[in-house]
Amino acid sequence: MMNLYGVPGWGSAISEIMLTMVGQPYQFIDVEGFDAPGPQRDSLRQRNPLCQVPTLELDDGEILTESAAIALWLLDSYPDFAPPVGSPQRQQFWRLLVWLVANVYPTFTYGDYPQRWVTDNPQALTASTDRHRETLLRWLETQLTDGPYTFGERLTLIDAWWPVIRRWRPREAWFAAETPKLNAVADRVCARPELQAVLRANKLLS
């Protein structure tokens, strides 16, 4: 069985939800504390020298990292979790997948650990990345339809992002007030019976 190295509630939660969505068996290995010297960091570094989560160790021992790459890898075996080939939604699925990891996710990378990037007034970096993220999320809201999920009736791997991002800054109350369509999609994903256990394990259910 493949092993997913991560921390409950962190970015690895996105990959956990995707794996659970498609029904791919995996074992979760909690490496909480990996961002400081110690045995958890040493264990993760053996598999991923960059010491990042998620790190997915496949059945054959190969290592796969990056949430978007894990999504693409899953779609090779579970193509129904993306819009149909040739549809306009398919292109938008690819666009949104890359947009999330290129634009939204870096705001957490820099904002959560500002002292790694600046020496003067790191709090200002956190504040500025938080504001930029809110701008990005408001744009995302304009791209959503009134369908139950991001691309209408079909649940796709993109939908795994919303319960996780909503729990991070700017938190649930902001999403409910500022991005109601995105918040509604996150609610529907959180209501799916097959995801209850993984959502609870990642502290994504109230």
Query: Amino acid identity, residue 122?
Result: P
Cβ pair 60, 50 in contact under 8 A = no
Predicted confidence at residue 138, as pLDDT, reads 98
pLDDT in tens, 89-134: 999 999 999 999 999 999 999 999 999 999 999 999 999 999 999 9
The pLDDT value given to residue 206: 73
Give the whole-angstrom CA distance, residue 119 versus residue 192. 44
pLDDT number for residue 140:
97
pLDDT averaged per 10 residues, the chain (length 206):
97 98 98 94 95 97 97 98 96 97 96 95 97 98 93 97 97 97 98 98 92
Query: Across the chain, what does the average pLDDT equal?
Result: 96
Torsion of CA 62, 32, 28, 67, to 10 degrees: -60
* Rg for the chain, CA atoms, rounded: 17
Q: Could you report the per-residue pLDDT of 146-156, keeping only the tens digit for each?
A: 889 999 999 99
Return the sign of the alpha-carbon dihedral for residues 3, 48, 79, 104.
Answer: positive
Q: How far is Cα 99 from Cα 136, in angstroms, rounded to an integer?
A: 10
- For domain 82-192, say whether CATH 3.40.50.1390 is its number: no
User: Domain spans of the chain?
Assistant: 2-79, 82-192
- Tokens 């989560």 found at: 53
For 118, residues 6+ apart whose C-beta sits below 8 A from its C-beta are 124, 125
45, 51 contact by CB (below 8 A): yes
The dotted CATH code for 2-79 is 3.40.30.10
